C-alpha cells in the first residue's frame, strides 16, 4: 500500500506538486531565461562561478535581462544537474559573496571576473 504522507493526504500533495509543475511550464514557455553551463571545475572547487564582468565591462549576471537564471553543472559532456534561480535572488546571493571578496579571474584568457558561490551555501542563504 502506498502512503503519500503520514496524514494520508495524497490529494493535497498532488495539488501542491501540480501548481509547481504549471509554474515551471509557464516559466519555460513565457519567460526569458539565461542559461550558463559550467564544466568540471565546480567538482574540484565546490563552487559555482557567476560572471559579472568581462574585459572590464559589465557582463553575465550584471547585464542579463532574464527573469530566470539556469546554471548547468556538467560532468564532462554529461549534464549533472541544473540549478534554477529567480535572477533577482541569484543577484542578491552573488552580491553577498562579492562583498566577502570571493572574486576571481577566469574564463577565456582570464578576462572575466567571477563571483564564487560555494554550492554547500546555496541552500543556506537567508538573503
In sequence order, the 6+-apart residues with CB closer than 8 A to the CB of 122 are 48, 83, 93
**pLDDT exceeds 60 at position 101:** yes
pLDDT per residue over 15-26, tens digit each?
Answer: 888 888 988 888
Write out the DSSP string of 46-100: SEEEEEEEETTEE-GGGT---SEEEEEEEETTEEEEEEEEEHHHHHHHHHHHHHT
Residue 4 lies in a domain: no
pTM: 0.82
**pLDDT exceeds 50 at position 75:** yes
Residue 13 lies in a domain: no
CA trace torsion 94, 25, 80, 63 (10° rounding): -30
Range of the domain at 83: 32-122
Give me the number of domains the chain comprises.
Answer: 1
**pLDDT exceeds 90 at position 8:** no
Residue 47 lies in a domain: yes
Residue bearing cell 504549471: 22
**pLDDT exceeds 70 at position 9:** no
Amino acid at each position: 500500500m502506498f502512503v503519500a504522507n503520514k496524514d494520508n493526504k495524497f490529494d493535497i500533495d498532488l495539488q501542491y506538486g501540480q501548481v509547481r509543475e504549471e509554474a515551471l511550464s509557464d516559466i519555460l514557455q513565457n519567460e526569458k531565461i539565461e542559461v550558463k553551463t559550467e564544466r568540471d571545475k565546480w567538482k574540484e572547487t565546490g563552487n559555482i562561478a557567476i560572471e559579472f564582468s568581462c574585459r572590464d565591462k559589465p557582463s553575465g549576471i550584471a547585464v542579463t535581462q532574464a527573469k530566470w537564471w539556469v546554471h548547468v553543472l556538467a560532468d564532462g559532456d554529461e549534464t549533472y544537474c541544473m540549478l534554477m534561480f529567480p535572477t533577482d535572488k541569484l543577484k542578491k546571493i552573488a552580491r553577498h559573496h562579492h562583498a566577502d571578496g570571493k572574486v576571481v579571474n577566469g574564463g577565456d584568457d582570464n578576462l572575466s571576473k567571477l563571483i564564487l558561490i560555494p554550492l554547500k551555501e546555496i541552500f543556506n542563504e537567508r538573503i
